[in-house]
Amino acid sequence: MITLYHNPRCSKSRDALALLEQRQQPFHVVEYLKTPLDATALKSLLQKLDLPIRALLRTKEDEYQQLELANPELSEQQLIAALTAHPRLLERPIVVNGDKAVIGRPLENIVAILT
């Protein structure tokens, strides 16, 4: 099953949704601002993305600055805790297909994971 971690206010996320709808494959949408991911789900997502936790952080969000998340001494566990408490920090869109996931910027990343 394909899953889209989606923020309807984000144009790139809306583009990802439109792409998935065009492909007419079944998929599930998770509006992560309404249903934030817990630490276990984030760790699973990181494994599927094969990326470090910092790749999931939106560095231009106010919370990023306020929480001083640029501090290189913060552990992965601390960054995961920040993401669970402040889901707006999660990069978007993210598409999961089986045991693989991508950040959908650019949209070609999504196409690659669906084929």
Q: Which string of b and e fits 60-97 if b means at least 16 CB within 10 Å? A: eeebbeebebeeeebeeeebbebbbebbebbbbbbbbb
- Which is catalytic among the residues 10, 51, 74, 107? 10
Look up 108 and say whether it is catalytic. Answer: no
Which residues are annotated as catalytic?
10
